[in-house]
Chain A
Amino acid sequence: MDAFLVRLATALFDGFWVTLFLLVTSGIAGNLAAIGVALARTSRRIWLSAPATGFILAIRGTPLIVQMFLIYYGLGQFRAVRASILWPILRDPTWCAFLALTISTAAYSGEVIRGAIQQVPAGQVQAGEALGLSRWQIRRLVVLPLALRQVVPVLANETVLLLKASAIVFTITVKDIMGEANIIRAQTFRVYEPLLAAAILYLALTFAIRRLFAIVEKRSRRHLDPPAATAKGAVPAG
Chain B
Amino acid sequence: MKPTDPFVLLGFGEGGWGATMLAGTLVTVEIAVLSYLVGCLIGLVAAWAKLRGPRPLALAAEGYTTVVQGLPDILVILIVYYGGTSAIRDLVGLIAPGTTVEIDAFAAGVASLGLICGSYATEIFRAAFLAVPKGQVEAATSLGLRPAQLFRLVVAPQALRRALPPLGNMWLVTLKDAALVSVVGLRDLVGVAASGAAYSRQPFTFYMAVATVFFVLSTISMLGLAALERRSARAGAQG
Using CB atoms and an 8 Å cutoff, list the residues of chain A in contact with chain B: 57-58, 60-67, 69-70, 73-78, 160, 163-168, 170-171, 178, 182, 185, 191-192, 195-196, 198-199, 202-203, 206-207
Contacts and interface: CB of A to CB of B under 8 A. Distances in A.
A85 to B, nearest CB: 20
B72 A164 contact: yes
Contact of A75 (B177, B180, B204): B204
A130 B74 CA distance: 53
Contacts of B73: 164, 167
Contacts of B48: none
A73 B79 contact: no
Nearest to A176: B72
Given A63-B179, A73-B197, A74-B203, A195 B71 contact: no
Given A76-B203, A203-B70, A185 B82 contact: yes
B158 interface: no
Interface in B173-217: 176-180, 183, 190, 194, 197, 201-205, 207-208, 210-211, 214-215
Contact of B79 (A62, A76, A199): A199
B83 interface: yes
Interface of B: 67, 70-75, 78-79, 82-83, 85-86, 176-180, 183, 190, 194, 197, 201-205, 207-208, 210-211, 214-215, 218-219
B94 to A, nearest CB: 16
A15 to B, nearest CB: 12
Nearest to B72: A167
Given A66-B207, A74-B203, A74-B204, A164 B214 contact: no
A176 B238 CA distance: 54
A203 B71 contact: yes
A202 B211 contact: no
Contacts of A202: 70-72, 75
B211 A178 contact: no
30 contacts: A60-B218, A61-B214, A62-B176, A62-B215, A66-B207, A66-B211, A66-B214, A69-B194, A69-B207, A73-B207, A74-B204, A77-B202, A160-B70, A163-B72, A164-B72, A165-B72, A167-B72, A167-B75, A170-B74, A171-B183, A178-B72, A178-B74, A191-B82, A192-B86, A195-B82, A199-B67, A199-B71, A202-B72, A203-B67, A203-B71
A60 B210 CA distance: 14
A130 to B, nearest CB: 37
A77 B203 CA distance: 7
Nearest to B76: A199
Contacts of B204: 70, 73-75, 77-78
A65 B180 contact: yes
Contacts of A195: 75, 78-79, 82-83
Contact of B214 (A63, A166, A178): A63
Nearest to B177: A63
Nearest to A19: B72
A221 B79 CA distance: 40
A203 B67 CA distance: 7
A190 B48 CA distance: 37
Nearest to A189: B86
A65 B190 contact: yes
Report which residue of B67, B176, B205 has the largest number of chain A beta carbons within 10 angstroms of its beta carbon. B176
A66 B190 contact: yes
A186 to B, nearest CB: 9
B67 A66 contact: no
A55 to B, nearest CB: 13
A164 B76 CA distance: 11
A170 B180 CA distance: 12
A165 B79 CA distance: 16
A66 B71 contact: no
A182 B184 CA distance: 12
B72 A66 contact: no
A168 B73 CA distance: 9
A78 B210 CA distance: 18
